[in-house]
């Protein structure tokens, strides 16, 4: 499979998007390091060929940063995982901007309020960051917790979303 890779500039720094030949985002994040984007995927899910090109998702990301927080909602993504992971990633897309959940609240949304560690793992394994907004999940005590692309980026995204809310 041939995939497209594109890096754009955002207020939070370089943002790189990896999309398959059908323009579905496979991986994305706040870096210009292509290897860091590829490392978010299992070896079996990495594309054989990579070429620089325009992705449909880049326009959505730029629109998000310009204030249209819903621009990322309809971007197609391609994720591979367990049934629970797929359900979790889908549920992440239903969290409204400016209304973050705790890991406990996220686990409850998955119909298993005691599966807090599983909820955290789903967030940690989310490759198409921003488009599947795992940044909208906080520690149970309400603090930021971890984020693959850094706490500063997570905080910036949450502040941006809370202002527009």
Q: Which residues have a catalytic role annotated?
A: 134
Residues 6+ away with beta carbon under 8 Å from 121: none
C-alpha to C-alpha distance for 56 and 61, rounded to whole angstroms: 9
C-alpha to C-alpha distance for 78 and 162, rounded to whole angstroms: 28
Which residue has tokens 């209304």? 99
Ranges of H-type helices in 2-150: 34-38, 56-65, 83-92, 103-109, 116-124
Please state whether beta strands 49-52 and 25-29 pair in parallel, antiparallel, or not at all (unpaired): unpaired
């Amino acid at each position: 499979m041939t995939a497209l890779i594109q890096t754009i500039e955002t207020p939070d720094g370089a943002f790189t998007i990896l999309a398959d030949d059908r323009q579905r985002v496979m991986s994305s994040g706040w870096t210009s390091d292509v290897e860091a984007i590829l490392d978010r995927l299992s070896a079996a899910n990495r594309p054989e060929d990579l070429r620089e090109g325009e992705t449909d998702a880049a326009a959505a990301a730029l629109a998000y940063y310009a204030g249209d927080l819903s621009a990322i909602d309809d971007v197609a993504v391609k994720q591979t995982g367990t049934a629970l992971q797929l359900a979790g990633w889908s549920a992440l897309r239903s969290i409204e901007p400016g209304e973050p959940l705790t890991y406990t609240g996220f686990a409850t949304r998955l119909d298993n309020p005691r599966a807090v560690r599983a909820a955290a793992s789903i967030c940690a394994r989310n490759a198409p960051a921003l488009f599947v907004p795992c940044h909208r999940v906080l520690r149970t005590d309400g603090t930021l917790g971890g984020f693959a692309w850094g706490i500063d980026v997570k905080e910036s995204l949450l502040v941006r979303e809370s202002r527009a809310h």
